[in-house]
Amino acid sequence: MSQPIQPFAGPIWPTVCGVETHQGTSSQHPHELVPVEALRSGDPITDVNGGGEHYIVLESKTVGDTCVVLELESKAHDVLRVIEKSFPTGYEVDRSARRVV
């Protein structure tokens, strides 16, 4: 018999919730994990904790002390899109050394 699912006890974020921290690194590409509040326009990033998507930061807005909203450029199926995602303060992403989109 399976165990019942336990409710998430922390705060609920509309786009990022219950994510485990990525601990792995690669000898070919060591991760430079940075908190989202340290990102600047033009930074190429990979969301290693939330699916591995690649983005370019267009704009960063801090909302209070607990949330950062990023306007991001992404490319999927050869189509560029601009999306907005919110993250809890302290959430870490991989800042790439090169443009990934």
Comparing CA positions, the residue from 83, 73, 70, 74 lying closest to residue 34 is 70
Confidence of residue 96 (pLDDT cuts 50, 70, 90): confident
Identify the structural domains of the chain with CATH numbers, from first to last. 33-95 (2.30.30.30)
The overall longest dimension of the chain from CA atoms, in Å, is 50
Q: What pLDDT is recorded for position 20? A: 45
Given a cut of 70, is residue 58 above it in pLDDT?
yes
What global pTM score does this model have? 0.66
